[in-house]
Structure 1
Amino acid sequence: MGKEQIIREALALPETAIDYHVSQYLAEKFPEKVLVEGNDTLFNVETYARAGHCSLEVQTFIHNQVITDWQGSELSSGIPTMIARFGGFMEKTAGESSEEEISDSSKNAWFTVQWKDNTLDILVMHWPTGFSRVIYAYWILCDSHQIAKDFIQEVCRWNAEVRGEVLVFSGSCWKKDAQLFQAIQGASFDNLILRGNLKQQIREDLERFFTMRQTYDEYNIPWKRGVLLVGPPGNGKTHTVKALINALNMPCLYVKSFRAEHSTDEDNIHAVFDRARKSAPCILVLEDLDSLLNEENRSFFLNELDGFASNTGIVTLATTNHPEKLDPAILDRPSRFDRKYPFDLPEQPERLAYITLWNETLKPALRISEAGAVRLSELAAGFSFAYLKELFLSSMMHWVGSAGQETMEQAMIDQVDVLREQMVSTPDTSEEPPQPKLPSPRRRMRIQLS
Structure 2
Amino acid sequence: MTEHGYNEGVKNFKCDECGKLFSQKRDLIQHLLIHSGAKNFKCDECDKRFTHKSHLTQHLLIHSGAKNFKCDECDKRFTRKGHLTQHLLIHSGVKTFKCDECGKQFTKKYNLTNHLLIHSGVKNFKCDECGKQFTQKNTLTKHLLIHSGVKNFKYDECGKQFTHKHDFTQHLLVHSGVKNFKCDECGKLFAQKSHLTKHLLIHSGVKNFKCDECGKQFTEKGHLTQHLLIHSGVKNFKCAECGKLFAQKGNLTQHLLIHSGVKNFKCDECGKQFTVKGDLTRHLLIHSGVKNFKCDECGKQFAMKRNLTPHLLIHSGVKNFKCDECGKQFAVKSNLTKHLLIHSGVKNFKCDECGEQFTQKNGLINHLLTHSGVKNFKCDECGKQFAVKSNLTRHLLIHSGVKNFKCDECGKQFYQRSSLVRHLLRHCVGKSF
* Length-normalised TM-score, structure 1: 0.21
**Which structure is richer in relative contact order (CA contacts within 8 A, separation 6 or more)?**
1
Which is richer in strand? Answer: 1
Larger Rg over CA atoms: 2
